[in-house]
Structures are given as C-alpha cells and as structure tokens.
Structure 1
Amino acid sequence: MEALLNEWLMREEFWLPPGVRWKDIEMTEDEGRFPLPRDLIYTLPLAFAFIALRYVFERLIAVPLSRYLGVKDRVQIRAASIPKLETFYKQNSRQPSQGEVMSLSKQCGLSQRKIQTWFRQRRNQDRPSNTKKFCEASWRFVFYLVAFAAGLGSLINAPWFWDHRECWRGYPKQPVAEAHHWYYILEMGFYLSLLLCVSVDVKRKDFKEQVIHHIATIFLIGFSYCANFVRVGTLVMLLHDSSDFLLESAKMLHYAGWWRTCDSLFVVFALVFLVTRLVVFPGRVLYSTLLVSQEFFKPFWGYVFFNTLLLVLQALHIFWAYLILRMVYKFVFMGKVRRVHICTKNFEVEDEEEEPEEEGDECSWEQRKGAINSKLASLANNCVLNNLTNQRNINSRLPKAR
C-alpha cells in the first residue's frame, strides 16, 4: 500500500515544481519543520474534541449568557398527536400536495383545512429556537475571535505578511514555524467539526453554499499544507477570520433583541467583508498565487489545483457579497433594516420563516370572530351609554329653557 501511494499519489510532478525532487527539500531538525501529510491525521480527533467542547460550552456558558442578554423563544402551538399524519410528515413530505392532502383527509376523517393546519403547526414546531441559534453563533464567535487574534499575533512579524513575494522565495523548501503548524491544524479541525455537525445545526437557505464552502475550505487547508503553500494559506485564513467573528457577534445581538447594536455591527461587518473578500483577497492573494508565483517557478499540477480552490472560494465571496449589498441597499435607501435583518432573512437565513395561520383556519377564525364580537359589543354599549347621557343632559336643560 505504501509503495502504491508513493508511486501514484506522491508523484513528484504532482506536488513539486518542475526540476525539484523530494530529496531536494529534505530538512534537518535544525532547519525547521517541513509540513507532511501525516500531520493532518490529528485533525480528525481534534474535530471530535471540538464537538465535545462545543457541547459543554453551549450548556455551561452560551445558554446562561443568552438568558442574561434577554434572548426570548417564541411560544409555539404544538400540533395534535395524529399518528398517520406524523408518519407521513417524517417519511414522505413536510409540505404535502393538494392530492396528498385529499388522500390524508379521507384516511383521517378530517377536513382538508384541518390537515393543512396540522402540517403548518408541525413545521413551525420544528423551527429552531432563538436560544439554539444564539448558542451556535456564540460558539463560532469565540473560535473565530480567538483564531483571528492568534493568527494576527503569529503573522504580524512574518515577512510575507507585508511583502507577498516572500510567500514564494525559496519555495518549496520553506520551513514552517510551530505556531503556523498549529494554526493550520486547529483551523482544519474546526471546519471539519462544522462539516460533521452541518446536518444537526440550524438549516439555512444558503445550506448548499455553506457545505461547498466547508468542503472547499477543508480541501484548501489540507492541500496547501501538504504542498507547503502554508505562507499563502495563513493569509487566507486570517482574512476570513477577520470578518467572521463580526458576523457571529451581530447574530448574537440580533437574537437578544439589541437591534441598534446589531445594525451597527452589521455595517462594520459589511465593510470589513467587502474590503477583505473583494479587494484584498483578489488584489493580494490571487494576484500573488496566479502571477507573482510564476517569477519563482513554473506551473505544475498542485499549483493549478490550489488556484482552482482559491477561485471557487472567490466565487462564494461574490455570492455572499451580493446578499450583503442587497441588504445594505434596503438598509440605506428603503429603511427596511427592521424587517429585513441580516440575521433572519438573507445572508444567514433559517430554513423557512414561521408560518402564520391562514385567514380560513377554523380555530383562528373562531378566535377572531370572538374578538370582533366583543369589540362590537363594547362599541355598541359605548354608543348606548353616550346616547343615554346626552338624553339626560337634554332633559335637565328643558325646564330651564321653559
């Protein structure tokens, strides 16, 4: 097996520039650490450790913090226990067609309107609570903030942080510092944990884009580490972390009902996101990997694959930038930020909005009918009382007039 991997997977033309051999990049312990594929084995147990740590964090820190900040969950009406409808809901569809509604109506002996009402209440019952969404956002906020601070501290004195040509000088024989090694391992372990939990986390409208983003990020981190594109990779991770913790903090404040602070943080996040993802990333990182790198070596298979992943990432940046700019437009020109918040309708949107009861629903109509009748009765009583009072006043004035 090892011979097969060395023959096919670890072929020099895949991983190294033309004319470079594996023996040319061997390093001694004094020269520093050279990234090896076996180092990434630690990311899988680290991902499970992140999941366990998240479980403890959400229950011991995030939930009490949500109560302290005033996060409130909506009171939802639970659907009645109807086994046939429950089975259809779980095994067939959450939104039955008109023909399926008619068939279920005959099987259960209920009207079609009651069947539709049951499914609506059942879907609303599965909506995640604000507390759950707050806990998820707070966990990501803590990691992104710590990762950004640690990454910035480890890169601020690195030569390639200021001069992008240093990313390629001496490539591929570039030693990796211990701090940058663990920066890579922790980031990849965290994104792997997000991918493992994506099916149980709050599902959003950009679910497919999120999955593609996680997979592309994991492949990008893993491949760049194996091919020793670590210097560029650290810059990419730092750029992403710089805006991600702002987004997660804005979500937290939204769920807590701190609207003005949430709006202010969203504006800051939008500016940082647009500058880092649409200006710095293509202007510095992509320019360096596509053009500047060719001054130091000729293109090879690993170089092409690495740039393809970066371009996929940039396509996702453009997609999310479109959503952000659309929200900024509504915020600035239409004044709809209260109704179209970042955290609820566009960029970080849940599966569906909670569905209100239709006007034709029997239970809600009875409630509205009772409320209308009480208002009409109150209005009628007021009118009668006013007429009687006016009549007394007129009668009391008649003797004086006579």
Structure 2
Amino acid sequence: MEMLPDLWKEDYWLPPGVTWRDMEQMGDSNRPRPLDLLIALPLALGFVALRYMFERFVAPPMARCLGVKNRFQVTAAPSPNLESFYIQNRREPIQSEMEGLMLSCRKTQRQIETWFKHRRSQDKPSKTKKFGEAAWRFFFYLTAFVAGLSCLVDKPWFWDLRECWRQYPFQPMERAHYWYYMLELGFYGSLLLRISVDVKRKDFKEQVVHHLATIFLLSFSYCANYIRIGTLVMLLHDSSDILLEPAKMFNYGAGWGRSCDTLFVMFAVIFLVTRLVIFPSKIIHTTLVLSMEVFEPFAGYYFFNILLMVLQGLHIFWAKLILHMFYKFLKGKLEKDERSDEESEVEEEEEEKGGEENKDPGVDCYWEKSKDSLNSKLSMLTNSCVLNNLANHRSSVVDRMRKAQ
C-alpha cells in the first residue's frame, strides 16, 4: 500500500515545479483525472458484446454479398485416444510416439497421420470468421478516424505542433477529446480480451506488444495531460488501418482481385509515409525536442518517449514485411501476406507440408491466374515426357528387330 502514494508523485507525472494541487485549479471538468481511466473497463466489455453482435448478424450478410465461401473441410473420425493426445500433447506426434498410438488405437501409421491432418484442418479459422474480424476492425477504425479528424481539424495543434506544448500542463481538456481517448482505450482493451480466441497470426507476439504499448501510452498521456499529442498519435495510426482491413475483406471474397490490389497498394504507401516519415519526423521530434522549449525533462518525459520508440520499432518491423510484399507484388510473385494477415499457425504448419496456399490481402488476387498457368505448364511437361518415352521405346524396339534380322 505504501507504493501507491509513491506512484502518484508529481515528479513522475508532471514537469518540475508543478504539483497536483496546481492542476486542481483548472477544475474537475477541464483536467484529466487518473480515475477517469476506469471507464475504459466497461467500455472494453461493451466493445466485446458489440463485436459479438456485429460478427453474428452484420458480417455474415456482408460476406455473402462479397462472395466469401469457406473451404471444404474433412472432419476427423471420432477417436478418444487420438483426441486426448492432440489436446494434451501436440498437434502432430513424433515417430517415437507413433508406435504407442498405433497400438492403443489399432490403426496404421498412415491412418493416424491422416487423422491428425484432418484434425488440424478443423482448427483452421474459416474465411467467414476472418472476414468478420476484418469488417469489425474496419468499421471501428473508420468511425474513429472520422470522429478524430472532425474534432481535431479546427484545433491549432493539428497544424502547428508547437501548440501541443503551449502553456503545458495547464491545458483544458475538451469533452470530445475525452471520449476519443476513452473509446480508443476501450477498443484496444477489447482486443486484448479477445486475443486468445481471435485468429492467431504470424505476428501474434508483436500484436500483443503493440496493444500493451498503446494502452500504456494512452493511459500515461491522459494522466500527464499529453492529450494534444496523444490525439495526433491515434489519428495517425487509424489513417492507414482503415485501408488494410477492407483489403482483407475483398481478398476473402471472390472476384474482387482488382479492388484488393488497389487497396493494398494504397495501404502500403500510406503506412510507409505515416509510420516511417511523419511519425518519427513530426510526432517523436516534437515530444523529444519541441517540448523541451516549455519544460525540463522529467520521469514522464522519458517514459512517454520510450513508449513512442517501442511503437516506432514495431513500425519498422511491419514496414520491412510490407516492403518485401510490395516487391514481390510488383514482380508478380506474391504468394502470401508477410504482415498481420498471415494465416494462423495451424494453417502455416499445413503450408509447410504442401497444403493449400493462403489467401491474404494483396496475396491471392492473382492466384487463379497463376494456378491456370501452372496447370498448363505441368500438362505440357507431362505430354512432353510421355512423347519422349514413346519415342525412346519405339527406337529401342527397332534396334532389337534389326539385331534379330
């Protein structure tokens, strides 16, 4: 209990010479209070419930309109012993474990391997599920971006970043910015609550770090009254996400290849510009340099900038994957998404065994053409091999007949 008073020391949250008593002179309605963050918890639960309703009643009709169809999956035959091993041990037995399973189930090794393959296939997320997740995120990001832009476009700090620090920390908080913060916090809290049941992608760990860093960043910036720069950070991130999610939605549908490609290219360009150019040169520069024109460094200054650096590191990680994707896209060799719409680990495991190819944004828009081309080449190669074999066989028969004569 003694740690709680130390946690709220002015030295951690406010510039030197400023106390909580000084902040109280602004009035309760005009200043951010740490207890306000508690409203993010019921908002997170509300978002979980709202998302359930959206994915249950709104997303399926949208998926049908875009021609989203689930793959046909073969259901594994009931087998209590194999099911118990699958849940408690691993999704694929090693050779030393195979003999015990063969004895207990009285099946051949081939039958057991087939059962595990079908069982893993059952755990693959359907296209409808992935479409519902993408559609939900798209509608939130679109709503958040429009709302954030409408409440910031007429503010002086939107055009001049030095205004973010004018008279800091005695900057009155507007009600629209309060709800902008709380809704974003509630949304990212709901993503953490649902992360165990959502589609598990290749960058799962990076996504968890991103959500935690975002929640800490928003919570601290709110308590320290970094609201002006915080609203700009949220708006900047939402600007590219509103293009990624519809790209996924069109990719899961049938016959939307051109729309998928266009949205992917637009997303890649906006992501690289906002996350690798504007974010470090404007946002981080103003928090590191311009803020020092108003106050001296304090603990909160370092903590806030460290969190921004963590986000920038994640931006670089995703930018490398997107650039690699974009290069393959231009070369016409794009086979799978390298970023956050990577199929789940179960599907990736099947790919390594020669399973079906993934379908992701900017990925499978040309898959049908590539498949037809591959089939035609295989057909030509097969015909060539058959003709060569017949010719060789005919010449050998002629030679034997000449020797016999």
TM-score per shorter chain, which class? Answer: 0.7 to 0.9
Contact kept in structure 1, 2:145 and 2:239, CA below 8 Å: yes
Residue 108 of structure 1 corresponds to 105
Deviations 1:350-382 (A, max 9, x none): 2224737979xxxxxxxxxxxxxxxxxxxxxxx
- CA drift of 1:28 comes to 4.2
Q: Return 178-187 or 15-24, whichever deviates more.
A: 15-24
Are 2:141 and 1:148 equivalent residues in the alignment? no
User: Matches of 1:194 and 1:25 in 2, distance apart?
Assistant: 33
- Give the letter aligned to residue 289 of structure 2: L
CA distance in 2 between partners of 1:318 and 1:124 (Å)? 33
Q: Given that residues 69 and 127 in structure 2 are in contact (C-alpha distance below 8 angstroms), is that contact kept between their aligned partners in structure 1? A: yes
Q: Give the 5 Å matches for 1:193-342.
A: 193-257=190-254, 258-332=256-330, 334-337=331-334, 339-340=335-336, 342=337
Alpha carbons 1:27, 1:33 under 8 Å: kept: no
Equivalent residue in structure 2 for 1:88, among 85, 88, 99: 85
Percent pairwise identity: 60
Correspondence for 1:355 among 316, 336, 350: 350
Of residues 189, 193, 198 in structure 2, which corresponds to 1:192? 189
Q: CA deviation at 1:95?
A: 2.1
Q: In 1, distance between residues paired with 2:37 and 2:86? A: 41
TM-score, normalised relative to structure 2:
0.84
Which ranges of structure 2 fall in alignment gaps of 5 or more residues?
355-405
Residues in 1 aligned to 2:262 and 2:76: alpha-carbon distance in whole angstroms: 39
Looking at CA atoms only, which structure, 1 or 2, has the larger radius of gyration?
1
Structure 1 portions without partners, runs of 5+? 360-402
Residue in structure 1 matched with residue 380 of structure 2 by the alignment: none
Number of residue equivalences: 352
Aligned to 1:178: 175
Taking the aligned partners of 2:184 and 2:19, their CA distance within structure 1 comes to 29
1:283 is displaced (CA, Å) by 0.5
Structure 1 stretches of 4+ with a deviation exceeding 4 A read: 356-359
Conserved? CA contact 1:63–1:131, under 8 Å: yes
**Can you list the C-alpha shifts for 1:171-214, whole angstroms capped at 9, x where unaligned?**
11111111000000000000000000000011101111111111
RMSD: 1.8
Task: Say whether the 8 Å CA contact 2:201–2:340 is kept in structure 1.
Answer: no
Q: Is the 8 Å Cα contact of residues 18 and 300 (structure 1) preserved in structure 2?
A: yes
Larger mean Cα displacement after TM superposition, 107-116 or 165-174: 107-116
Partner Cα separation in structure 2 for residue 253 and residue 358 of structure 1: 27
Change (3 A) 1:214 1:111: same
Q: Could you tell me how far 1:21 is from its partner in structure 2?
A: 1.7
Q: TM-score normalized by structure 1?
A: 0.84
Query: 1:210/1:358 Cα in 2 relative to 1: closer, same or farther (>3 Å)?
Result: closer
Deviation at 1:107, TM superposition (A): 1.8
Per-residue CA deviations over 1:298-351 (Å, capped at 9, x if unaligned) read 11111111111110000000000011000000011x2023x33x4xx5441122
Q: Paired residue for 1:33?
A: 30
Alignment correspondent of 2:62: 65
Task: Give deviations 1:119-177, integer Å, cap 9, x for gaps.
Answer: 11100111010000000100000000000000001000111111111111111111111
> For residues 358 and 311 of structure 1, do their structure 2 counterparts lie closer, same or farther at Cα, with a shift above 3 Å needed?
closer
CA distance in 1, matches of 2:52, 2:323: 34
Q: Does 1:165 align with 2:162?
A: yes
